Amino acid sequence: MAIAHFRCIAEATDLPIIAFQYPLATGQGYPPDTLLKLLDAIPQIRAIKDWTNNVQLHEWQVRTLQSRPHPVNVLSTHSSWLFASLVLGCKGLLSGAGSVIADLQTKLFRAVQANDLAGAKAINDRIYPLARAFYADPFVDMHNRMKEALVLLGQLPCAAVRPPLVKLDSDEIARIRMALVEAGLLGPDARASRAA
């Protein structure tokens, strides 16, 4: 089914394709053998967006896919542990948190690529409080939290949500504000009233 689906897409365009690799436990991820068959059958797949959430499988994919005769880039979407993921050798990242901290993620990626692990660790120390805030339980609220961060930063006028999601409470918004302060993106004296 997966091969037929991607073949249909590949026949409709000559653009390179990125396949989304979900955690195997969801039933939506591709086991290693299936993934290799898919890449052999559809050479237009040039990258995977890796969200396996399994460090061993993630490393296998980085090592195996990027060393193929026609390499397939692994793009990390492990935003809650991005530093570790990039150090394993990912060729890029696709991250929801990039809507808020693209500049920090870019600096982190460049530092890792330059093998400046001390610099990368310092950048990761700024990202860490935000990753903890955005990807806390319940996980389903991650994008709601990012919207609230953008409101606090003056980038969005409001953090509208669609049902069945609900607006975050004031305590949660205060935690997001504190994470922005810890990351150095918001001054400690910034108006807390934006969180209301």
pTM of the model: 0.90
The CA distances from residue 132 to 33, 70, 84, 185, in Å, are: 33, 36, 15, 15
Torsion (CA) 34, 37, 42, 48 in degrees, nearest 10: 50
Secondary element (H or E) of residue 74: strand 73-76
pLDDT at residue number 188: 84
Confidence class of residue 194 from pLDDT cuts 50, 70 and 90? very low
Tell me the pLDDT tens digit for each residue of 149-158.
999 999 999 9
Find tokens 């409709």 and name the residue. Answer: 12
Q: Are 79 and 134 in contact (CB under 8 A)?
A: yes
pLDDT at residue number 190: 64
Tell me the pLDDT tens digit for each residue of 12-32.
999 999 999 999 999 999 999
